[in-house]
């Protein structure tokens, strides 16, 4: 199987904790042809979508640990047609440049892409979760999104609770997330100015969300594969920080999904599959869905460590099955065409 990872630069990853490295390592262990590239290296030559790629040089024996594999990995640089791959993993860090999806549009019917191009268009920012159909408010906190400062101020003024969550629409990794307490609402005007006013005269969308009880104790990261949970962990924030993200100082702990959390997974799972969002990370607090992470969701390393598991094995098993099914369907279709042509 030919596998391509569109990701962040190889030199910037942290071997001890990087989820993408686990997927690359597992692909190499299985003997697959592996290439890595970045969004900036996508190109078109003679109307064919290509990429300046780094092709992993196959080793006689692949090191058993991802860290050693990373140290010993060697590449040869080559311009390769993306349609030559069986599967492409989209593992670039958010926010996603929509031009990347335009490049992939030309090959999306020929290559299995994780996650699907149309799914990424729908879900590459927090609007996907905020606008999700949940009329009864059973799985999603009350959420407000706008660039209109006066409207957002009214939302804050009329909020019955003592706290609200404020964050930028395009933030990731916990960046810009703050807890807005009633006693600090005199600072709302300047805070909204800061969040809305962007560089170059552009304005940014702001999310206001009801505060879910238990948020101060962290959140639950759930890894979903083909609409089903395959692993979870609890992330607790550092003291004095509202963010539970690990690289923001949070800690991770073993976690078994509760009935309420399983209910969220079962409710959102079919929608994820329908939208082609096969491998994602859910962030849950108090049995409610806070975010769906569709670009390079992390958590594999910590969930593996806490549960003595290997999520990357499950992911590659499933991807191989999907690619095999697509190949079988193509062969079947060609056989039918030949039967008709030779009739």
Mean pLDDT calculated for residue range 219-248: 81
**pLDDT bracket for residue 13 (50, 70, 90):** very high
Q: What is the pLDDT of residues 106-122, one digit of tens each?
A: 999 999 999 999 999 99
Which CATH code, of 3.30.1490.20, 3.30.70.890, 3.40.50.150, 3.90.1310.10, is assigned to 142-210?
Answer: 3.30.1490.20
Which CATH code, of 3.30.230.10, 3.40.50.20, 3.20.20.70, 3.40.50.720, is assigned to 2-114?
Answer: 3.40.50.20
Q: 53 with 37: CB under 8 angstroms?
A: yes
Calculate the dihedral angle through the C-alpha atoms of 278, 283, 285, 290, rounding to the nearest 10 degrees. -90
Among 216, 296, 309, CA closest to 255: 309
Sequence-separated (6 or more) residues with CB below 8 Å from residue 92: 6, 7, 8, 38, 39, 100, 295, 296
Gap between the Cα atoms of 333 and 59, Å rounded:
36
**pLDDT bracket for residue 273 (50, 70, 90):** very high
Domain residue extents for the chain: 2-114, 142-210, 215-315
Q: What is the pLDDT of residues 159-185, one digit of tens each?
A: 878 888 988 887 776 678 888 887 776
**Residue 135, Cβ density class (10 Å: 0-12 exposed, 13-18 middle, ≥19 buried):** exposed
Whether residue 137 is predicted with pLDDT greater than 80 in this model: the reply is no
Q: Residue 51: which H helix or E strand, with range?
A: strand 48-56
Mean pLDDT calculated for residue range 119-140: 82
Question: With respect to CATH, is domain 215-315 assigned 3.30.470.20?
Answer: yes
Mean pLDDT calculated for residue range 277-294: 94
Residue 135: the pLDDT is 64
Of residues 145 and 215, more confidently modeled? 145
**pLDDT bracket for residue 96 (50, 70, 90):** confident
Residue 50: the pLDDT is 97
Residue 244: the pLDDT is 52
To the nearest whole percent, how much of the chain has pLDDT over 90?
A: 68
Whether residue 88 is predicted with pLDDT greater than 80 in this model: the reply is yes
């Amino acid at each position: 199987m030919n596998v391509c990872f569109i990701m962040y630069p190889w030199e910037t990853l942290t071997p001890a904790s990087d989820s993408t490295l686990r997927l690359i390592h597992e692909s190499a262990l299985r003997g697959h042809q592996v290439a890595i590239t970045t969004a900036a290296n996508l190109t078109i030559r003679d109307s064919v979508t290509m990429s300046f790629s780094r092709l992993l040089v196959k080793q006689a024996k692949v090191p058993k640990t991802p860290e050693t594999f990373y140290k010993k990995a060697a590449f040869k640089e080559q311009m390769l047609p993306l349609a030559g791959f069986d599967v492409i993993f989209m593992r670039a860090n958010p926010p996603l440049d929509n031009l990347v999806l335009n490049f992939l549009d030309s090959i999306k019917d020929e290559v299995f892409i994780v996650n699907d191009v149309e799914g990424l268009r729908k879900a590459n920012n927090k609007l996907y979760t905020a606008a999700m159909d949940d009329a009864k408010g059973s799985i999603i906190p009350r959420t407000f999104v706008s660039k209109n400062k006066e409207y957002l101020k009214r939302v804050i003024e009329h909020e019955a609770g003592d706290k609200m969550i404020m964050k930028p629409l395009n933030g990731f990794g916990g960046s810009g997330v703050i807890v807005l307490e009633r006693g600090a609402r005199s600072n709302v005007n300047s805070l909204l100015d800061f969040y809305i006013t962007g560089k170059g005269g552009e304005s940014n969308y702001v999310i206001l969300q009801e505060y879910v009880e238990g948020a101060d104790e962290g959140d639950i990261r759930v890894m979903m594969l083909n609409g089903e949970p395959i692993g979870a962990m609890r992330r607790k924030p550092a003291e004095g920080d509202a963010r539970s993200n690990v690289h923001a100082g949070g800690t991770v702990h073993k976690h078994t999904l509760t009935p309420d959390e399983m209910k969220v997974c079962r409710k959102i799972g079919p929608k994820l599959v329908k939208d082609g969002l096969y491998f994602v990370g859910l962030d849950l607090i108090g049995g409610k869905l806070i975010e769906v992470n569709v670009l390079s969701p992390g958590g594999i390393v910590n969930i593996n460590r806490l549960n003595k598991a290997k999520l990357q094995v499950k992911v590659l098993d499933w991807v191989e099955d999907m690619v095999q099914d697509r190949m079988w369907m193509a062969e079947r279709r060609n056989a039918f065409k030949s039967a008709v042509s030779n009739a």
